[in-house]
Amino acid sequence: MHTRLLGHGLEVSAIGLGCMGMSQSYGPNPGDRSDMIHVLRSARDAGVTFFDTAEVYGPYDNEELVGEALEPIRDQVVIATKFGWNIQDGTMAGLNSRPDQIRRVAEASLQRLRTDVIDLFYQHRVDPEVPIEDVAGTVGELVAEGKVRHFGLSEASVATIRAAHATFPVTALQSEYSLWTRDPEAEVLPTLAELGIGFVPFSPLGKGFLTGTVDTSTTFSDGDIRTRVPRFEADNLAANQELVAYVRDLAAQKGCTPGQVALAWLLAQSPHIVPIPGTRRTSRIEENAGSVTVGISADEKAGLDGLAQRIGVHGDRYNSQHMRFVNR
């Protein structure tokens, strides 16, 4: 596994692991916790050193799972987690990034993750009620105290990124980015390059769409987040098939999988991009890790870019309730 640098000092595997789906959002949760512990540890065996979680995943269950799984190999891995939600009785009740809340979350996350330091601490969503300078300053204090190593943002606008970075260095931005979610390209990616901030795309496989395993005949179980995502409505899925068909054909030519093409395309965008595909299966971890050896030529990249720009994407990536929390 190759490594990449986020910001000015956080070295991680070129492919990370998004752990959210092990505890929520993709149908019934795995019944045997030990299975997921095995998957997490097998990721390290495959060369993955970068693991992404958050207090709100569960809530709390995912941090506890990650902490238990990685405790024996803590010195070999980088753990990212997130603050920013007001969690009441196990559900999200709006945002809360007040300094005292950030500190409470940090202490609780340290306990659940079974560690004495959080490698990367993201603000999960920008809280318009709290100046970003106060947020960055508080995380900076936690860094000075040795409880956090690096500061990150998620789904933040360029103005917020600049204001935060001017207060305390931002190591990484995490936002959705893939062949069918190109929003960051116009303004965010150039800003990150200018400021020396790394980029961590979540849902780099389009919530499974870009693996070529989802079409209009696919049914999703109760609790699967895709039942609430407009892009996965039948009409939109049908309209979006042209893109995945192209990816599937290119993968066949290259002797790899569609998912590997999608991840290799992301890796080719910048040496400071580290995708974090999620999975519950060791076979997928091995497949995703293998994408680092799938080269994308300039012509192949241009073909993928041109097709995506020509056909566009049908359907929003979130429903209206969730869209109001992004790009603030």
Does pLDDT of 280 surpass 80?
A: yes
Residue 325 confidence (pLDDT):
83
- Give the CA dihedral 271, 273, 274, 279, nearest 10 degrees: -130
Residue 124 confidence (pLDDT):
98
Does pLDDT of 273 surpass 90?
A: yes
Identity of the residue numbered 42: S
Averaged pLDDT, 192-217: 96
Does pLDDT of 32 surpass 80?
A: yes
Does pLDDT of 321 surpass 80?
A: no
H-type alpha helices, the chain: 33-45, 61-70, 99-112, 132-144, 158-167, 188-195, 234-254, 258-269, 282-289, 298-311, 320-323
Residue 92 confidence (pLDDT):
84
Does pLDDT of 51 surpass 90?
A: yes
Averaged pLDDT, 137-151: 98
Residues 218-230: pLDDT tens digits?
A: 999 988 999 999 9
For 174, 224, 225, 319, the CA distances from 171, given in Å and listed in that order, are: 10, 31, 29, 29
Catalytic residue among 57, 122, 177, 246: 57
Does pLDDT of 4 surpass 80?
A: yes
Residue 24 confidence (pLDDT):
85
How far, in Å, CA of 53 to CA of 55, rounded? 7
Does pLDDT of 31 surpass 90?
A: no
Domains contained in the chain, CATH given? 3-323 (3.20.20.100)
Does pLDDT of 184 surpass 80?
A: yes
Does pLDDT of 28 surpass 90?
A: no
Residue 151 confidence (pLDDT):
98
Q: Is-contact 249 303, C-beta < 8 A?
A: no
Task: Please say if 122 is a catalytic residue.
Answer: no
Averaged pLDDT, 88-99: 92
Q: Is-contact 239 272, C-beta < 8 A?
A: no
Averaged pLDDT, 131-136: 98
Residue 323 confidence (pLDDT):
73
How far, in Å, CA of 35 to CA of 282, rounded? 10
The residues near 170 (Cβ < 8 Å, ≥ 6 apart) are: 7, 136, 151, 152, 153, 161, 164, 195, 197
Residue 25 confidence (pLDDT):
79
How far, in Å, CA of 142 to CA of 144, rounded? 5
pLDDT-above-70 percentage for the chain: 100
Which two structure tokens, joined as six digits, stand for 185? 């390209």
- When pLDDT is cut at 50, 70 and 90, the band that residue 311 belongs to is confident
Averaged pLDDT, 24-40: 88
Q: Is-contact 22 68, C-beta < 8 A?
A: no
Phi, psi of 165 (to 5 degrees): -65, -30
Q: Is-contact 244 210, C-beta < 8 A?
A: yes
